[in-house]
Structure 1
Amino acid sequence: MDTLEWLNLTRHGESTGNLAYRAVQGTDAEELGIRERDADIPLTDAGREQAVLLGRWLAGLPEDQRPTVAVVSPYLRTLDTARIALAQAPYQIPCEVDERLRDREQGVLEGLTPRGIGLRYPEEALRMRRLGKFYYRAPGGESWADLALRLRGFYRDLGQDQPGGRPLIVTHDAIVVMTRYLVEQLSEHEILEIEKEPVANCSITRWRDEGGRLSRRSYNACDHLVPVDANRP
């Protein structure tokens, strides 16, 4: 990873899943009400607009900062975000898909609210509290530590394939957060404090090579999203 010149990450645009999550906050709902499987959740109209603005940001980058490749999660909302954004750039960016950039898998807890988990899987709710968010793995799902494991392999391969490159990663909030954990060599406590701030849709997080190490230049930046509501989670 430290062989890269720039590392750029963005979260997908607003999705119907994001709307469903906000709709049940503060209610007694046990389920999010999402009908699609996670991989098939689409963008909203606002999400597509955010992707256009992301593309305009790409178009305005100096030539020596332009991404040399885009690597994208295989989920619909990330694929469409990348497609829309890259279409705005006046230069060609090769696009690759890598399943290691997919969102964190929730296993049997997928689609449930915290209330739903407590009522339907009380033993899992207890285990989650005992183990903590970083190491808890739901049956059939992944822990945050599991994300770190698959991302270590992804970034190792990316550095080998793109030495001196400037990749743009189009992915999910958990991947953005765990990339900070890896690049900046943070502790469990530090990354869980950072994770309390939601990663905004189509926000920009960037690192640049400085003396052989990646140094963070921005995190969760939303200045390029001013024409839309940049405060949406």
Structure 2
Amino acid sequence: MAGVDALHWLTMTRHGESTGNLAYKAVAGTDAEEAGIPERDADIPLSDTGRAQAAAFGRWLAALPEDERPTLVVSSPYVRALDTAKIALAQTSYAAPQDPEGLRPKVDERLRDREQGVLQGLTGAGVERRFPQEAERLRHLGKFYYRPPGGESWADLALRLRSFYRDLEAAAPGGRVLVVTHDAIVVMTRYLVEGLTEQEIMAIEKESIGNASVTRWRQNGARLEAVCYNDCAHLADEGA
């Protein structure tokens, strides 16, 4: 993929566990129609476990060989992602060009989570009961192309990510980039970098992306090649 292949290393992590994640877990297996999250999606904070996971991820970053350490960090603007980035970087002593205070995350709204539109905050049962026509449309179109009213399809994510990674080519040619974001963005980056099909990426998407997990690609001379995907080994003691 033009742009992203110009990077030397691309490392991604999903934000640490959020209070929204806990809310959905609390209603799993019940007939609840809503997760009961009071904040707007952009303002959902990390849980205590999520903050510990972010710190553990930071210690993993600090232990990287010098030639693998990020030279640029870009984060989703959402609180749970940006706080993950800040907590993680606080565990390191990375220097940044022309910045004596060290490496600090830059924000890019193209890394935000997928917009759910009218389905925001609903459980599967809630969608079936309140929007039965949408539930049927999802079954007919499939998850990749289905766009909820006011929301985005997975294909829409690919469009904004192509733009984001093209801009990275200009901002950090040959650089080592860390992206702190959301599960859907990690999945769709794999779709773009590895040139996967709809069927391949939807099969991969069935495996949940762990909070504060590590996904990496490195330059092999021609393009990026996969190093690891959804790796949570560094979180063994942090409730991963």
Q: Aligned pair 1:78/2:81, yes or no?
A: yes
- The alignment partner of 1:88 has SS state of coil
Residue matched to 1:217: 227
Residue matched to 1:206: 216
Residue matched to 1:87: 90
Checking the alignment, whether the CA contact within 8 Å between 1:68 and 1:94 is kept in structure 2 is no
Checking the alignment, whether the CA contact within 8 Å between 1:148 and 1:178 is kept in structure 2 is yes
- Between the aligned partners of 1:145 and 1:181, the Cα distance in structure 2 is 10
Checking the alignment, whether the CA contact within 8 Å between 2:34 and 2:122 is kept in structure 1 is yes
The one-letter amino acid of 2:74's match is V
Residue matched to 2:155: 145
- Between the aligned partners of 2:88 and 2:78, the Cα distance in structure 1 is 16
TM-score, normalised to structure 2, is 0.95
- Structure 1 gap ranges (5+): none
- TM superposition outliers: structure 1 runs of 4+ over 6 Å: none
The one-letter amino acid of 1:98's match is D
- Structure 2 gap ranges (5+): 95-101
Q: Aligned pair 1:105/2:118, yes or no?
A: no
Checking the alignment, whether the CA contact within 8 Å between 2:75 and 2:108 is kept in structure 1 is yes
- 1:160 deviation in Å? 1.7
- 1:133 deviation in Å? 0.3
Checking the alignment, whether the CA contact within 8 Å between 1:13 and 1:51 is kept in structure 2 is yes
Residue matched to 1:12: 15
- 1:214 deviation in Å? 0.3
Checking the alignment, whether the CA contact within 8 Å between 2:32 and 2:125 is kept in structure 1 is yes
- 1:229 deviation in Å? 2.0
Residue matched to 2:204: 194
- Between the aligned partners of 1:94 and 1:14, the Cα distance in structure 2 is 21
- Cα deviation per residue 1:198-221 (whole Å; 9 max; x = unaligned)? 000000000000022000000000
- The alignment partner of 2:90 has SS state of helix
Q: Aligned pair 1:162/2:172, yes or no?
A: yes
TM-score, normalised to structure 1, is 0.98
- Cα deviation per residue 1:178-201 (whole Å; 9 max; x = unaligned)? 000000000000001100000000
- 1:93 deviation in Å? 1.8
- Cα deviation per residue 1:73-122 (whole Å; 9 max; x = unaligned)? 00000011011000000112242100000000000000101111111111
- Between the aligned partners of 2:123 and 2:236, the Cα distance in structure 1 is 31
The one-letter amino acid of 1:113's match is T
- Between the aligned partners of 2:84 and 2:105, the Cα distance in structure 1 is 12
- 1:161 deviation in Å? 1.2
- The alignment partner of 2:59 has SS state of helix
- Between the aligned partners of 2:216 and 2:82, the Cα distance in structure 1 is 20
Sequence identity (%)? 69
Residue matched to 1:56: 59
- 1:228 deviation in Å? 1.4
